Chain A
């Protein structure tokens, strides 16, 4: 709320409970519009006595309605209430959207993205990331139906401060590398719709809206291995349909890139299924059991991905002088030991798979089982807490 004192002087008033400038240390992370059939992953964490406590993690009922894809669809006013266990003061929403943008980019690239505006007719975040990190850059397609972009901004918005340009809401954070930034963007109408998804006056209300990929990057912040190595580390996020590599230096982000090789753990399972001639039911047991060794079927699929992982490791070593001895593998539901074995054989890399909730104090009434589906929700909550530890 702005209070105008004189014609030229105004002061900002912010009231508690409305989010304010200081984030909460008790909040719920929710991943919205993911493709998990079990429901919406939600995680509630709290920072108490210099430690993170996991209070609840579950799949909850999805909100009514779909994420609007254009301004005309925003008229529906959603109202979504979370179960009692997740009624923290604030909620951090990790959003999956076809129009979301999350990438590592230079200032020039970010300014181009800001000038481009809303990718209305198909250029999803995946395509945007692909254009930026693929080996072969595709020529940019002309979007005749896209709204006319206004003049390109001349400078980046302030760090962490959202800025609206050409219908898109942008936010930028610098990486621990010169002229490299993390950029996130979502159409303005989607941000407005999400901001009012949780009704006012009921716990929780939205205090943060992040792209699910950004939340994913923050999901390993509480991992003891990362803390053990002084905040330095390399993480391979293996999602159902894509793979990301993230580098951390002294607790700060330094690298975020998508593996140019197509495929995630769904494709990995399909490779095993195809290589060993198995049906769907037996593939899962093969990935988990030790009776059958699926590495012969996995090697053609994982080889290029591990090559990219090694490239990322070499980049961190050469550019930042980081010696990466252990690589975290996150997001893979089953078959982690096979990946580790192949990585060790091919590149002498120590790949290990930490628990999703490692580093968090479990509730005393019973331990909550970790599931890879909670990673974006957990990361959203950890990032939105803005707690330094």
Chain B
């Protein structure tokens, strides 16, 4: 049976009332209003928090702006202090790298053979250090040194009557009083030269000795 075919209902869907005590047509607007109110409160809270954050941000920005000059001054002072500390450190390094030759040269007179004359004592300049950064030439030059060590040598020029005298002198330089300063001694050149006063007499030997000294260590 199809009872719907017999149902001549004069009531429209809009006129049907709910038998439920909970009336959706009442509850729905109330729930909608409550939801809207909740959302409004939520948005209000968010807006208040946002405004507070913005005000706080403005205050912090103002405070930062007011302290910027002082901060820059402090940063400049710190940079300057760092630079000066670096300079002091470099000076300390130079101080640490200082070699004292006084006692060594005083001992030279004691070991110098009788028939030998030292006419010249040279300490060649070390190779110049590269203080400019090749990758950034506009950068100010470094205060140096750029290497931890620097090799030092001494060139001794003199005259001797015999070659054995030179050898004796070289052996003397290996003595205990020179070990702290002079390491390796090598003959750079030896040549005969006439006696300045007695040309018939035996000739003198002009020599050059290159003494390799201990390296300068730039450290505290």
Interface residues, chain A, CB within 8 Å of chain B?
A: 1, 14-21, 23, 89-90, 102, 160, 162, 169, 171-173, 182-186, 191-192, 194-196, 198-211, 214, 217-218, 221-222, 226-227, 231, 251-253, 379, 382-389
Given contacts A205-B18, A205-B19, contact A160 B1 (CB under 8 A): no
Least CB distance from B68 to A in Å reads 55
Which residues of the other chain, A, contact B20 by a CB distance below 8 angstroms?
16-17, 201
Task: Report the Cα distance A334→B64, complex, angstroms.
Answer: 106
Least CB distance from A199 to B in Å reads 8
Q: Does B13 contact A (CB under 8 A)?
A: yes
Which residues of the other chain, A, contact B198 by a CB distance below 8 angstroms?
none
A-B interface, 3 closest residue pairs, ranked by CB to CB distance from nearest: A19-B16, A184-B8, A17-B20
Which residues of the other chain, A, contact B10 by a CB distance below 8 angstroms?
162, 169, 171, 184-186, 191, 209-210
Given contacts A388-B2, A388-B4, contact A160 B9 (CB under 8 A): yes
Task: Report the Cα distance A302→B8, complex, angstroms.
Answer: 31
What would 15 more interface pairs be, CB under 8 Å, given A15-B25, A173-B5?
A160-B7, A162-B12, A185-B10, A186-B10, A195-B17, A200-B17, A201-B18, A202-B19, A208-B7, A208-B9, A217-B6, A227-B1, A252-B2, A384-B3, A386-B3
Which one, A200, A218, A226, contacts B23 given CB within 8 A?
A: A200
Secondary structure at the A interface, as helix, strand, loop or mixed, is mixed
Q: Is the CB of A198 within 8 A of B17?
A: yes
Least CB distance from B36 to A in Å reads 16
Q: Does B137 contact A (CB under 8 A)?
A: no
Interface residues, chain B, CB within 8 Å of chain A?
A: 1-13, 15-25, 28
Least CB distance from A191 to B in Å reads 5
Q: Is the CB of B18 within 8 A of A386?
A: no
5 A-B pairs with CB atoms under 8 Å apart are A19-B18, A186-B10, A195-B16, A251-B1, A387-B3
Least CB distance from B31 to A in Å reads 12
Which residues of the other chain, B, contact A389 by a CB distance below 8 angstroms?
1
Q: Is the CB of A182 within 8 A of B3?
A: no
Q: Is the CB of B17 within 8 A of A18?
A: yes
